[in-house]
Structure 1
């Protein structure tokens, strides 16, 4: 009997796989037909199509890049610069938003009334102001309210903040290169622009408000009885958090937190409003110069879809590991 059930399950699995393959094939066929129709319509109107423009020189400079770029390089390298700039703001944003979101979430559960109230106020304020408005506000504060670079504020040793951005120590050949205040400028170290800072601060502040609520809800989902039982066994507060609360809370925190990570990655496309040269900004400039609207939009769709699918796959894998450990426990 068990053998027959196993064979039935295998047959059902093969049928499901067959139907899924058929669905994918139909989608690819539909996409091919649509692409052919679009190409013929564009050709009839004398509009160029295709991705050969990616090999042509751009003719424009990019103000901020992780590697060397000049106007004589082709468009595909410009898109690569934009992609690198997108990752440059999205990846640190994910880390910082997770840290601040967790701290604020724990703060909302504090027995200290003042700390709990401040964390609650933070969540309500930053969660209910549109991200676009927050980005513009951060950009205004950084470019209008900070002093000139000659009067930069040194808020930590080696960290200077001014209208020109943030200067900080950088590791060069195994040694730290410290920025120093010069007569008219900050010399040495590394610098990030106010545009980059505005995007990073806006994304982190916005995402952290949502992650804080996710963390708070996950911790509250653990029954009070288990925490009290752990205390009765003599576990300290940190041990109860580490061995009892977090392992159970993470199973509920990770899936909705993954959605916020996806949102942060996609919301980085709003960087164009403050002049940060991310992928959308590069695509917009390219579109205006070449008129290759379909191709530029297709590149944007493909890149953001790839980033979203990769993020979702990594989080799903991590969640499976959590559930597997919980099942073994």
Structure 2
């Protein structure tokens, strides 16, 4: 019987078509030509710039980065001295930029999400206050907001020797906000290890609870257990390290506030201005994402007895994320790039450091290239991270 059935002919291996009629070949050739043309233009531009600088006796190159900077920096996380090289000054400026960008993105997300949810409140006062906030702060240029907050801090706050005290722990003056700082000891490393272990355990438990809910339909408490794991393991690590609890408390002297840690008025003005400005746009992004969820989802959740808060957290926001994340990425990028406006209030971020380095070394092209490279790297890094999160949050059809 099998002999009566003709054997299926073997599929011939596809032959590569190298003819100019092949759309694939033409696309490759066009892309190669485009890349070659761009590379040629860049090479001509760089060569012409270097030649003109050489004819005018202008030094070029990045060797200046290893020379002593010769200028001081008002604040930073690194121990910096004017005899340190330029590259360390740029590193201090980069960390100051990240100090604004990272904290600003977190605070803008929290505040913007609350405002966006508040736009759907049944309470008319809450709803209108959120609406007024958005319309006020997003329609004032961010540079004016930075200048406004900076002038408020340096003009209307008392001098350092007359600082406003809150419980003799926090002091507010023209020099900024002073607060107690933890004196670091080796035992704190164990507390950090406990915190890291708590994050891993909390993440694992959250995934387990979600898998169990999808399998059985029975929810497990997640937020309270995760908080308990974080605090409990951190506390155990702190105890294992000897329970160090030494603090450096600020105090008022005849001239200034001494001791503790402080946030400068420049930093507070930049952070507050960027957060208030960006959160207004984030609120609109969140509002649009929530509004895109069909009304039937709200009605279905209400029919099974879910409260409005649980409906928002479990039903609406997870579906709205697929529309919220892409424009939210743009707001993060805008906040990071708008941090360059901090030079207007004297905050020593990377643009301010580059301007000072340019004036002292005369390497204008190099300093501008460093600024461009820093912001390009930060923007691409933010985009990669948010695209990864977008893929994780996307709704997958089964």
2:193 equivalent to 1:182 = no
- Does structure 2 conserve the Cα–Cα contact (< 8 Å) formed by 1:177 and 1:188? no
**CA root-mean-square deviation:** 2.4
Residue from 132, 136, 147 that aligns with 1:121: 132
CA contact (8 A) 2:118 2:130 kept: yes
1:154-198 CA-partner distances (Å, limit 9, x unpaired): 357733221110112322224352534334343432111101111
Structure 1 equivalent of residue 380 of structure 2: 309
* In structure 2, C-alpha distance between the alignment counterparts of 1:7 and 1:253, rounded to whole Å: 45
Q: Secondary structure at the match of 1:327?
A: coil
Which 5+ residue runs of structure 1 have no aligned equivalent?
none
Question: Tell me, what secondary structure is at the counterpart of 1:160?
Answer: strand
Q: CA deviation at 1:135?
A: 0.4
Q: Match for residue 327 of structure 1?
A: 396
- Counterpart of 1:58? 69
Question: Which residue does 2:174 correspond to in 1?
Answer: 163
The corresponding residue for 1:42 is 53
Aligned residue runs from structure 1 range 1-329, under 5 A: 20=31, 23-155=34-166, 158-172=169-183, 173=185, 174=188, 175=245, 177=247, 179-184=249-254, 185-323=256-394, 326-328=395-397
- In the aligned structure 2, how far is the partner of 1:216 from the partner of 1:124? 14
Return the structure number with greater relative CO, CA threshold 8 A, min gap 6.
2
Deviations 1:122-170 (A, max 9, x none): 1111101111100000000011111122332235773322111011232
Q: Does the Cα contact within 8 Å between 2:160 and 2:174 map onto a contact in 1?
A: yes
Deviation at 1:246, TM superposition (A): 0.8
Q: TM-score if structure 1 supplies the norm length?
A: 0.91
Q: Count residues with an aligned counterpart.
A: 322
8 A Cα contact 2:170 2:250, kept in partner: no
Question: Which ranges in structure 2 are unaligned for 5 or more consecutive residues?
Answer: 1-10, 17-21, 189-244
Distance 2:24 2:385 in 1: 25
- Say whether the 8 Å CA contact 1:106–1:215 is kept in structure 2: yes
Q: Distance in 2 between matches of 1:271 and 1:244?
A: 40
Q: Is the CA contact (8 Å cut-off) linking 2:163 and 2:252 kept in structure 1?
A: no
CA contact (8 A) 1:158 1:179 kept: yes
State the structure with more CA Rg. Answer: 2
Change (3 A) 1:70 1:244: same
